Structure 1
């Protein structure tokens, strides 16, 4: 029983003269070989293959949709082959998707004739399953929160950044009650220094050029300001 492509070919040949028929059959034979050998069906490949058979054809003579008001028989045949090849690719992809090549079944083991090879494959597959299991465990562990022990309590954090923020906040909280030290820091800051001072309206201004990284205050200024805000909010 002729295939769908062969039916298309015979229908085209029935309406063609001898010269066109010969070219159609040559194109059919070439593309059939392309499909069998997994060669891409492109215009250059097809034209070069025809040339090797002594048939000279241009790209336009093959790929123009219409010739003298009629469908171009060469284009009809090539389009039919394109559709056939694409359908075959989809079927292969669907078959591969349904077949899990990472799972060994009893039928797979039974197909191995050598007992030695079968034993080696079984060991390798067992190691593969073990490695997969360990990878899955690591993924689960990585998704778990980080635990910080603080004052007989446990704190759970999503990531290391959350832990760092918690430690910073704890450091600030611990210094909030050191009001005398904070007052000294604020008074020293308000008095100004060689780099900073306040203008007549109370705005902070630079006394001279400031370089990147220059220290502009006592190291505890941030804690002192936070403590002051905490008192004012009460």
Structure 2
């Protein structure tokens, strides 16, 4: 038969805090206490921690969440508690959010690089003569670029939902969307140029479009990296 014991914790764990408040309700006439470790509330499995005659009484089972080994001896009606020196820390949701945020920045940064590479490739292709199926190659590469962009965008939007106060992701996403449209327009203009290379107007438009796409994609890389570095410093 499982026995439920309680012990009084008086600063037993330096990193743990115990908050008593009647706002958590009562358990058999005693105020329920909310027990936290490193900012994370310990889970209540059955009997909660309570304030009994001015003393905080915490069920021993809660110690397991702090890395303690708890063994009940029915024969001697006693309990043995062993504290592991390398106690596992209670998961901190803020830490998980920070990791997700940094992963989103990293993926968006990789997408910035791919946008720059694609914009540069158009310029390189313009300097080549008689490359077979050159427009088909660009169309294929642009489809792959768009697919990768959509994946990073979906991930960033999910992370943004968990970090509603962070406006950086919104700024990066908006900027990337403009660059993706710009390199897409440059690609389409290049396809027109292939069949009208002698048209001075088309040549000039393509030159300006390539320059704008490359410059803006470079700015995206620098801006995203700046946000990443700033986040590292803050965290």
Normalized per residue, the structure richer in helix is 1
Structure with greater strand share of residues: 2
Q: Normalization by structure 1: what TM-score?
A: 0.23
Q: Which has the higher contact order (CA 8 A, sep 6+)?
A: 2
